[in-house]
Structure 1
């Protein structure tokens, strides 16, 4: 829809019969003529719905005039005015229908009705009329209503005057004076507000005069009129920049004095449109924050925070001093409000307020740790840790105090939050080398409290990479030795188990077991199996397992990936110690103890003590580490081999981590400068001096609020500028063939939550098709809102119907149906089967972005997975990834640098999308280039919370393979 095209907006009418009931015109005429009041109300609702579906029903006009218009039923009269709103009032020649004369008389009677509600609803109906011929006769009655004793009538009468003048000025040439006179003499606040709106729209000078008269006591004016003043000031200041400074000071006074929440909101949004002065913007945000903190509705809080974010994005750096005020909203119970407040504060943080913000967030984190019963405490704790981590990475002076706090509570955090803390420690140690020693000591002191194996693996990497000096290496080694516990693991665990069994035997001897038969309560002897009397070994309880040191607990629990990371850490520490120290006794002790630990882990993994046996990959990595430690004693080792070992274990991983940090830093910089670049002025832009400009030379600035309203009502014009007619033709689907007696085609329009089928029916026979109607049904999460009524189609005639289908999820949906019409000369009804219409779910799938932690969390939570094999003839792996993105509308989460070169032989990537209904869709692509066939082979794994979305996206992936493997005929 073009933004320049204005279409009439009609009142929505609820249709209670959604079960597919349809009525013929004769049935509706009979209901209007002989039915009761309730039957007439039901018939009028059916008529309104049918007319809004595109059927004008001209044959019912006189029946409504005769049998509905004289009724005094209030509900029927209300529906009647809805009918007058949409009924065609002109004939084919463009002249007023004769029946409208009767309608005009009835409307005039209602305008003089003693009941004020009938008068008011009639006046409100007049604001929707756009025919001067009809309005001309109503002008005297409307003018009489301006002096009516009830304000309910007057508030609509003044709007009717405004509407009549806008339709045709000659009907009310003195409307400006009438509205202003009404405004000065009116006492009701609603009537005054409507009158001022009319004055502001028709006569700027009069509106400005009235505003000057009330400017002194503006804080005492009714809030409705205050909001109207604010809107007028915002629009007028945009068109007349010379008055902007006066308007800004007026709005600022109103913002500081008003006590009404709606006026505060409107004024705080109007001021940033007129000025970018930081002090005024700070005042606006302060008032908005107070408003959000005061109201209890979470939706209002989110809306206000969205507006604060808009102000900050338009004026970067102007709201730093309001950071702590925004953080007051962390007292809200809703997690979305807290998350929004934290996101805004991350954009406002600077070196001046970073310490205060971190101290406040520390207190919040302390509260969440002490109050585990609080709802969403875990998620809130993760948000706080993520925010503190982001602040500390930006400002190095915060790092040490933040790390000490997080490591102090690391035992109280869940797995995801603990991993976030360890990741933060890695970032800080790489960015700030001067703090590595202190942080390393704090980390070693907190490792015994870590319960997450994944977080512990990250900590092992830190110990191996950042233990530089001899003392640091020995401290790290001491912790690893203590975390393993007594070695060899198998012998020590067997000894503990024997001690437990011995203590059990002693307990059994002390408690004498009764001998003889066992008598049940019913007096019979109990039977006992000899196989069940054997003593079973006692299993350790969960509390006893938790008492074990971390590494020992992970290894006996079957987590041998952590053991493989431990092997790499041991090798790194040994290689580094050999460089920084010449003490051969300590060096030999480290090697021998490392060999003992690794061999003990392999033996434990092959025993029955562990919950899961050790896997081959972990065994190979442990054996590789053992061979490296033993090879250290080889005197014939070449320097080149030693250098290669140092590169592999000491230098390569550190360089890889540095590259990763640099990439993330560049991405953060791009995000941070996005708003600055968007609002920056061109360097060659002329500077405008208001004092030197002429009266009419002020440049008209943009009203961002008005632009947002136009986009919301009419849509963005840029969205439609690039669309060609051919793109619309692709939405036309033939439902029947050209040889069928009825040809049907549908133009499909996809809105956010529904699908509209505009169906064109063509009678291709030489006979009139009677009682022709179309029946639709659906498969999937679709629902037919209404079925169109039956109608008669003349020979070679056209008939148009509209079907609305409600969509509730992004699953695959199918619409099918048939056309039915009466046969001739008493024959049976005829049927025409329609083609199926498949709803394209890609209209509801949009690419999205999420963090790696959130992606992994959802991947573990979602239970539905669809695994699709990939076999394609595309030339490269990147070409298949591009086709996958086009076919599924998913966004790539993996950085471009991690995808490899264009001619790489292996590619792995994560993808993420979100549907219009809030459904998450995750995908993992893992493909390679087959050397023998030169094809792209691999798998695509799709996960979602529901089965339908995973299957639907799987079908799209399969369609990509079919389209890419098509055989092209170059010669026949």
Structure 2
């Protein structure tokens, strides 16, 4: 289909039996001849569906005229007009078929029918006719319907007049005068709206005069006519810029006075097209906010908020005074609506209103404190992220925000608490003057943290940023109170023994001397025999333990390894800034006691999970560092090396990460400014000095959106995709050239359907009777079309269209066969078709998610496809680019973390999301072999469903085979 050619739009009919048996033309004819009205209705539905599938069924025209057209059944008559709409009305020479004379007479009778609904349905059918010879006979009856007593007939009659005039202006040459006279005399609002739309399309001056005549009473007119006026104003203002100011004043009055929400919305959107004055935009945005607040439909709220966002993007800074008003939409219960309102408000925050916004967000956060509902938890996390963004941008509220969030940290989920700690890290790094105050608040609230991940982040903050003696000692006090009584093993055994002594029904545990453990250390018998007792500890007792003690007893020794690093950092810092060696030695001794106690605990049965090797090694490293610190023979070089490793390297690493984030945000802001800012030396356009056909007015974005939605993009890439060369690449042969029937198909992906245009060629000298094609599927595909059988003449062609419904992004397979009757009483003959593999990667799009979401999905998804990689590409980056192109995935790892272009190693995460809401994750780890110069490694793909993981794996395997083909230049 070429771009720009208007194609007819047919009425769609619901198919009640998409998987039913196929019918031949003779079956349809018999059903129409002998069936009752109920059977004829079912037959007409099957005929309509078959014709919409591409089979015109020309042999049924006379049977429908004879057996269906005389019926008085209302439903059958409605289906009959659907049939007249799509049936071919012209013969091969382009002349009207003789049978249409009978149809024309029947339509004329229906235009004079005493039932107004039959008249109206017939007039509506005339608006879809494009044949001037047919319409010529209907003009007198249509004119008569303009004066019919019932408004239902008149509203379609005026549209029929407009449609007939557009087909051929010679049929109704005075259409403008007819519509104008009808508009003056009409009283029904729907009829007046239709008449004004027709008048605006045919005679702009007459429509403008009618608008001027009704200016004084426009506030009292029906909402339908007001919307028609607004649509006319928007289109006319683009063509005649001289009237823009008057139109804007009129729309402002209408916006303030109307009580209709749809009129309010249309007037507001039209004003945004016609003007960019800040005062008017504020009024428009206020009305839209009221609309979003009052409407109960969440979809309407999202649409209105999107329009407010567009106003802000096109006119930056114009809506800053409405930041708090937009946050009124947070009263909605839908999380998407709340997220949209927060996103818009964050773009509008300035130093003038930041305090008010933070207070409002704080109030919202407090309202979620007592609820444990899943939606409330998500909303709380959304509020925390929004508050984080505000505090990062405005230093004056950072300290208050940190205190606010840390006060809530005990009631937050693991992810929310981790977000708060991450935010605290950024604030301390960017605003060092707030460091002391934040550390004090953090130490006071840290005992309430229930998330091990958040606690690890807090330990890092304390170990990294505690600088003075007082801060180090306060941090140390917290660690000591958080770990509880040490040694941990002996204290826990004492607690167990005390519990047993209180329990008179059970015999006390008897300690029997030391026992040698497998690693050569000693433990008492009681430590080995109380595991069941410890495991039976109630949840209340577990939650009552101090945080560090609770985490370690639960088997979380990664937190213990972070604690070890923090202890080393605190000791090294205190040794640098303090002259008091006794306190320093006390810190070292106490640190050694804590770390050794944790290692002993990890090797006992008191914990739910034994200590892992990596955590044990980290703890032993920290112990060895503290032991070396005790030795006086340590050289200065060793001290500098320890200081570099524990104090400087980690801080520099985090600084570089924060700087990368700042650069990204700055790049986004600069792109935004470059997109919307106007150059200083931009030329001034004087409309009066330009040609008559040119004007300096805004583009009608509403019309562009409608055109984009109806016709799609017409970009170069789109045209190139529809070119003949690219279409030939999509043709798949279904049979061989030596088969009696040659078949090939062209595959098109259309939204959630896969359409197969199949061409059948009879390569024999005989007529193939009752030839039909049967298709079946494997995977999440469903065939919804079953074309009827047909006869194909010798060396003749036949085209059919098969539609398959797609329900997931898994690769599907379509297979089938061709069946036709054998000659002289022989059995039916079959031609087996080749399998068609449907590539559903068009439904997979690159997507973005944060690290927490990626990690959560990675742990939750149960299907994994692990592939070994071996490629001859020259660079790792080149392989990654090819992989992204094939899998339609987005690289989540930052660019700076991927390494240099000539790096030997590359590791990254990738993510994509299908149109059906399916997620696909991937982790790529590859390196370049220094000897063979080949790329080797592996990729792990995870998804919720097996099919998507296998589909991506097949695409990667196919890519590998394609790239590793060896080409021979000469022999």
What secondary structure is seen at the aligned counterpart in 2 of 1:78? helix
Aligned counterparts of 2:499 and 2:868: Cα–Cα separation in 1: 52
CA deviation string 1:437-464 (max 9, x = no partner): 0000000111111111111110011011
Counterpart for residue 784 of structure 1: 783
Aligned counterparts of 2:322 and 2:896: Cα–Cα separation in 1: 38
What secondary structure is seen at the aligned counterpart in 2 of 1:169? coil
Counterpart for residue 255 of structure 1: 255
CA deviation string 1:122-178 (max 9, x = no partner): 111111111111111111111111000000000000001111111111111111111
Displacement, 1:589? 1.3
245-254 or 872-881: bigger deviation: 872-881
CA deviation string 1:663-693 (max 9, x = no partner): 1122223333444433344555432345766
What secondary structure is seen at the aligned counterpart in 2 of 1:171? coil
Distance 1:697 1:378, change over 3 A: closer
Aligned counterparts of 2:898 and 2:567: Cα–Cα separation in 1: 31
Distance 1:498 1:937, change over 3 A: farther
Aligned counterparts of 2:7 and 2:17: Cα–Cα separation in 1: 28
Counterpart for residue 635 of structure 2: 638
Distance 1:552 1:680, change over 3 A: same
599-608 or 222-231: bigger deviation: 599-608
819-828 or 266-275: bigger deviation: 266-275
- Gap runs ≥5 in structure 2: 509-528
Matched, 1:667 2:664: yes
Counterpart for residue 518 of structure 2: none
What secondary structure is seen at the aligned counterpart in 1 of 2:90? coil
Counterpart for residue 594 of structure 1: 591
What secondary structure is seen at the aligned counterpart in 2 of 1:838? strand
Displacement, 1:864? 2.9
Counterpart for residue 151 of structure 2: 151
CA deviation string 1:886-938 (max 9, x = no partner): 11101111110011112223322111111111222222222333455544333
Aligned counterparts of 2:50 and 2:313: Cα–Cα separation in 1: 47
For the 8 Å contact 2:924–2:939, the answer to whether it is kept is yes
Matches within 5 A, 1:826-841: 826-841=825-840
943-952 or 42-51: bigger deviation: 943-952
Distance 1:694 1:53, change over 3 A: closer
Counterpart pick for 2:707 among 698, 705, 710: 710
For the 8 Å contact 1:13–1:49, the answer to whether it is kept is yes
Counterpart for residue 554 of structure 1: 551
Matches within 5 A, 1:551-630: 551-630=548-627
767-776 or 631-640: bigger deviation: 631-640
Displacement, 1:2? 5.0
Aligned counterparts of 1:672 and 1:832: Cα–Cα separation in 2: 62
Aligned counterparts of 1:933 and 1:634: Cα–Cα separation in 2: 49
Matches within 5 A, 1:6-45: 6-45=6-45
Matches within 5 A, 1:766-785: 766-785=765-784
Displacement, 1:696? 6.0
Matched, 1:647 2:641: no
Aligned counterparts of 1:2 and 1:358: Cα–Cα separation in 2: 55
Matches within 5 A, 1:216-235: 216-235=216-235
What secondary structure is seen at the aligned counterpart in 1 of 2:369? helix
Counterpart for residue 721 of structure 1: 719
Counterpart for residue 825 of structure 1: 824
Displacement, 1:871? 3.2
Aligned counterparts of 1:392 and 1:29: Cα–Cα separation in 2: 76
Counterpart for residue 866 of structure 1: 865
Counterpart for residue 359 of structure 1: 359
CA deviation string 1:782-827 (max 9, x = no partner): 1111210000000010000001110111112111100000001111
Displacement, 1:753? 0.6
Matches within 5 A, 1:196-215: 196-215=196-215
Counterpart for residue 113 of structure 1: 113
Matches within 5 A, 1:501-540: 501-505=500-504, 537=533, 539-540=536-537
Displacement, 1:232? 0.7
> TM-score scaled by structure 2?
0.95
CA deviation string 1:533-558 (max 9, x = no partner): 99974632221111111111111211
CA deviation string 1:817-872 (max 9, x = no partner): 00000001111101011111111121110001122222223223333333333333
Distance 1:121 1:682, change over 3 A: farther
Aligned counterparts of 1:235 and 1:440: Cα–Cα separation in 2: 61
Aligned counterparts of 1:72 and 1:677: Cα–Cα separation in 2: 67
Counterpart for residue 181 of structure 1: 181
For the 8 Å contact 1:773–1:788, the answer to whether it is kept is yes
Aligned counterparts of 1:371 and 1:620: Cα–Cα separation in 2: 42
CA deviation string 1:95-123 (max 9, x = no partner): 11111111111111111111111110111
538-547 or 744-753: bigger deviation: 538-547
What secondary structure is seen at the aligned counterpart in 1 of 2:209? helix
For the 8 Å contact 1:501–1:537, the answer to whether it is kept is no
Aligned counterparts of 1:706 and 1:47: Cα–Cα separation in 2: 37
677-686 or 465-474: bigger deviation: 677-686
Matches within 5 A, 1:398-547: 398-505=397-504, 537=533, 539-547=536-544
For the 8 Å contact 2:531–2:605, the answer to whether it is kept is no
Aligned counterparts of 2:207 and 2:266: Cα–Cα separation in 1: 19
Aligned counterparts of 2:374 and 2:564: Cα–Cα separation in 1: 41
Aligned counterparts of 1:551 and 1:595: Cα–Cα separation in 2: 16
Counterpart for residue 914 of structure 1: 913
For the 8 Å contact 1:361–1:388, the answer to whether it is kept is yes
Matches within 5 A, 1:948-959: 948-959=947-958
Counterpart for residue 964 of structure 1: 963
Displacement, 1:218? 1.2
For the 8 Å contact 1:2–1:715, the answer to whether it is kept is no
Aligned counterparts of 1:363 and 1:682: Cα–Cα separation in 2: 42
Counterpart for residue 524 of structure 2: none
Matched, 1:677 2:674: yes
CA deviation string 1:400-454 (max 9, x = no partner): 1111111111010010000000001001001111110000000011111111111
718-727 or 682-691: bigger deviation: 682-691
Aligned counterparts of 1:596 and 1:3: Cα–Cα separation in 2: 80
Counterpart for residue 127 of structure 1: 127
What secondary structure is seen at the aligned counterpart in 1 of 2:803? strand
Relative contact order: is structure 1 or structure 2 higher (C-alpha 8 Å, sep ≥ 6)?
1
CA deviation string 1:536-590 (max 9, x = no partner): 7463222111111111111121111111111111111112112222221111111
Counterpart for residue 902 of structure 2: 903
Aligned counterparts of 1:706 and 1:202: Cα–Cα separation in 2: 19
Aligned counterparts of 2:185 and 2:911: Cα–Cα separation in 1: 62
What secondary structure is seen at the aligned counterpart in 1 of 2:170? helix
Counterpart for residue 854 of structure 2: 855
Aligned counterparts of 2:531 and 2:467: Cα–Cα separation in 1: 53
Distance 1:535 1:970, change over 3 A: closer
What secondary structure is seen at the aligned counterpart in 2 of 1:632? helix
Matched, 1:63 2:63: yes
Counterpart for residue 515 of structure 1: none
Displacement, 1:749? 0.7
Counterpart for residue 762 of structure 1: 761
Aligned counterparts of 2:668 and 2:782: Cα–Cα separation in 1: 42
Counterpart for residue 77 of structure 2: 77
Aligned counterparts of 1:690 and 1:536: Cα–Cα separation in 2: 89
Aligned counterparts of 2:470 and 2:652: Cα–Cα separation in 1: 24
Counterpart for residue 744 of structure 1: 743
> TM-score scaled by structure 1?
0.95
Distance 1:12 1:434, change over 3 A: same
- Gap runs ≥5 in structure 1: 510-532
